[in-house]
């Protein structure tokens, strides 16, 4: 079986949907000898910012000489991106090897796992065999009943909470925060970065022994450098140049910084490490002599609001042309006005090949601007955007759109 056939089989577990609960993953881990107990775990949850925070911790720990695994989702271009050790993606042959181990365990136990449960089990075993020191494990969905929550973490990070996946997690910030706080275990250091009172209430129902970095580092500040697209942070009389760009990345930096300080990583290593952080499709800037193109995976109201904060800081609305596609299960009616507020030039394009995708015509029903252009072919949409000669081209609304852009245009 080649890697594409194998991945098709692995993705077929998605037909089992999303099942929140730990029974399957507990059985799988037990069958494999509980590999999730073989390393120190930093468990990272939250609505947005999980990936940026995880990748910052990963990069700096590698800079510090530690052996580090990282588990994130979704992937942008390749499944391999989800499971990394020391900055390297898992290889195709390793995916095949660990999938075989998990599949045999599944058949032996006689369970029907989800795609995420299978992938999580593969990750636990892979990290164990690699004899890593730290595993940075990002929650897939929610927290309490997420498959990753079989771990006993050294540290728990919950970045923030906003309304997303309400059909699974709850109808308000308090209910969703309770779900996400389910990853807090006795003995773990807890780091959060939100001042929302409903969020704080949910956290304090689990523990009063936590650090809120927005309170602890309230005297610190940041500036956005629109020439070099870095976030300049002043913290405890020290200056840090963070390669991830945006006000919300400042919050993610504070979370990572607190974790790294608790792990006794020296400031000099933090400073050098954060210059090297790369997190694709989160205000990812592609520069050519002709134009600046920004890829941002903003796929919910909170995400596009944060994208708006950055763009409003650096550009007038008429200097921005935005190519947009949004999946039908997102709150398009809330997202559309935000996009229209930071860009006077909007091109709607299609993701209809995805079962959750929409055409430009379908998306247009949620937009009111008279400057809307529909171009369902991504390559033509990008050529059209370039022909407008604006200061910046932004692609946002879905990671699938950014993946399509990278496959068809940027890498192609």
DSSP secondary structure letters along 80-138: GGGEEETTEEPPHHHHHHHHHHHHHHHHHHT----HHHHHHHHHHHHHHHTT-SEEEEE
Task: Report whether 80 contacts 92 (CB < 8 A).
Answer: yes
Q: What residues have CB less than 8 Å from 279, skipping those under 6 apart?
A: 51, 52, 55, 244
| Residue 75 to residue 210: CA distance in whole angstroms | 31
| Residue 18 to residue 139: CA distance in whole angstroms | 14
Per-residue pLDDT of the chain (412 residues; tens, 9 = 90+): 789 899 999 989 877 666 667 999 999 999 999 999 999 999 999 988 899 999 999 999 999 999 999 999 988 889 999 999 999 999 999 999 999 999 999 999 999 999 999 999 999 999 999 999 999 999 998 899 999 999 999 999 999 987 654 455 567 899 999 999 999 999 999 999 999 999 999 999 999 999 999 999 999 999 999 999 999 999 999 999 999 999 889 999 999 999 999 999 999 999 999 999 999 888 999 987 778 999 998 888 888 999 999 999 999 999 999 999 999 989 999 999 999 999 999 999 999 999 899 999 999 999 998 889 999 999 999 999 999 999 999 999 998 999 999 999 877 5
Which tokens hold the place of 290?
Answer: 């002709």
Task: Report whether 411 contacts 312 (CB < 8 A).
Answer: no
**Residue position matching structure tokens 């070099």:** 228
Task: Report whether 118 contacts 29 (CB < 8 A).
Answer: no
For residue range 152-185, what is the model confidence (pLDDT) as tens digits? 999 999 999 876 544 555 678 999 999 999 999 9
| Residue 250 to residue 242: CA distance in whole angstroms | 8
| pLDDT value for 76 | 83
DSSP H helical ranges for 219-331? 247-262, 267-274, 301-314
Give, as one character, the DSSP assignment of residue 307.
Answer: H
| Residue 386 to residue 306: CA distance in whole angstroms | 24
CA dihedral (310, 312, 318, 321) in degrees, to 10, reads 20
- Which domains occur in the chain, in start order? 3-274 (3.40.1190.10), 284-410 (3.90.190.20)
| Sign, Cα dihedral of 168, 173, 175, 181 | positive
Distances (CA, A) of 384 to 340, 341, 370, 389: 18, 21, 17, 10
| pLDDT value for 87 | 97
| Residue 301 to residue 283: CA distance in whole angstroms | 16
Q: What are phi and psi of 112, to 5 degrees?
A: -120, 85
| Residue 89 to residue 385: CA distance in whole angstroms | 33
| pLDDT value for 206 | 96
Reference 75, options 277, 331, 297; nearest CA is: 297
pTM, two decimals, is 0.90
Q: What residues have CB less than 8 Å from 45, skipping those under 6 apart?
A: 138, 139, 142, 143, 146, 156, 157, 158, 159, 180, 183
| pLDDT value for 166 | 47
| Residue 45 to residue 180: CA distance in whole angstroms | 6
């Amino acid at each position: 079986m080649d890697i594409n056939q194998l991945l098709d089989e692995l993705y077929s577990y998605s037909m089992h949907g999303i099942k929140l609960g730990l029974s399957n993953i507990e059985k799988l881990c037990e069958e494999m000898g509980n590999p999730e107990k073989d390393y120190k775990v930093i468990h990272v949850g939250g609505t947005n910012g999980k990936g940026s925070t995880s990748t910052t911790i990963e990069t700096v720990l590698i800079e510090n000489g530690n052996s580090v695994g990282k588990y994130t989702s979704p992937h942008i271009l390749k499944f391999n991106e989800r499971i990394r050790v020391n900055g390297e993606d898992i290889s195709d042959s390793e995916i095949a090897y660990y999938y075989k181990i998990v599949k045999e365990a599944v058949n032996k136990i006689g369970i029907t796992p989800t795609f995420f449960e299978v992938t999580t089990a593969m990750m636990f075993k892979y990290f164990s065999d690699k004899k890593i020191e730290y595993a940075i494990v990002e929650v897939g969905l929610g927290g309490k009943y997420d498959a990753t929550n079989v771990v006993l973490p050294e540290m728990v990070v919950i970045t923030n909470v906003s309304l997303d996946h309400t059909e699974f997690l709850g109808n308000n910030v308090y209910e969703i925060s309770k779900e996400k706080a389910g990853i807090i275990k006795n003995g773990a250091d807890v780091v959060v970065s939100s001042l929302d009172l409903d969020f704080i209430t949910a956290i304090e129902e689990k523990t009063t022994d936590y650090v809120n970095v927005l309170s602890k580092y309230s005297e610190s500040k940041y500036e956005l450098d629109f020439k070099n697209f870095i976030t300049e942070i002043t913290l405890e009389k020290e200056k840090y140049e963070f390669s991830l760009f945006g006000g919300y990345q400042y919050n993610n930096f504070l979370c990572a910084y607190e974790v790294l300080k608790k792990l006794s990583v020296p400031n000099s290593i933090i400073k050098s490490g954060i210059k090297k952080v790369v997190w694709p499709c989160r205000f990812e800037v592609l520069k050519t002599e002709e134009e600046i193109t920004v890829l941002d995976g903003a796929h919910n109201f909170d995400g596009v609001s944060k994208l708006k904060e950055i763009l409003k800081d650096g550009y007038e609305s008429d200097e921005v042309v935005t190519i947009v596609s949004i999946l039908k299960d997102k709150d398009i009616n809330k997202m559309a006005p935000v996009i229209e507020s930071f860009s006077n030039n909007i091109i709607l394009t299609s993701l209809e090949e995805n079962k959750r995708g929409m055409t430009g015509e379908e998306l247009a029903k949620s937009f009111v601007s008279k400057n809307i252009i529909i171009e369902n072919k991504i390559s033509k949409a990008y050529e059209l955007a370039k022909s407008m000669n604006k200061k910046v081209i932004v692609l946002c609304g879905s990671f699938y759109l950014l993946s399509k852009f990278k496959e068809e245009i940027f890498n192609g």
